[in-house]
Amino acid sequence: YRVILKNRFIFIPNNVGSLKKTVLAHELGHDQLHRQECIKGASFHESRIFNPTNIYEMQANIFAAHLLIPDEDIISMIKYAQSDRELAYEIGVDLNLLNLKISEMAKMNLLDINQQNSFVPDSTFLKDYKPLDDDWNDI
């Protein structure tokens, strides 16, 4: 997303494939939330779309999650989904965007994730893991 001579532009590369809708919604987020920064010369690039350390990118992702995923879809479907991957597939959105939307809805008290099929992995899933006896000298 850039502002050039007072005109707002969203550039979407040809190689984003199925993420095109997500990238467009994300860039619309920059337009709505960060236009003044762009007027001052900043630009935003889709290669950093899921960078959780950049506040501007995170805000644009949150905007995209709310734009693309209706609250009602999450509320009605989360009870029946076996996993977050299944729910993302059913809704037709990127898994990262879905998890961001669920997190935001929980923060806004729109979703009680404790009463839903929570997608929090069991913290003991590696409890019985034993490394293989690999001989690294053969590599």
pLDDT tens by residue, 44-91: 655 555 556 678 888 889 999 999 999 999 998 888 888 889 999 999
The pLDDT-based confidence of 136 (bands split at 50, 70, 90) is very low
What does the pLDDT read at residue 121? 43
Determine, yes or no, domain membership for 134: no
Number of domains the chain contains:
2
- 1 and 62 housed in the same domain: yes
- 56 and 35 housed in the same domain: yes
Q: Which long-range contacts (CB under 8 A, 24 or more apart) does 19-24 make?
A: 19/49, 19/94, 21/68, 22/49, 22/64, 22/68, 22/93, 22/94, 22/97, 23/49
What does the pLDDT read at residue 125? 46
Instruction: Report pTM.
Output: 0.70
- Mean pLDDT of the 28-45 span: 76
- 58 and 3 housed in the same domain: yes
Tell me the pLDDT of the chain averaged across its residues: 77
Q: Which domain holds residue 99?
A: 70-118
Determine, yes or no, domain membership for 50: yes
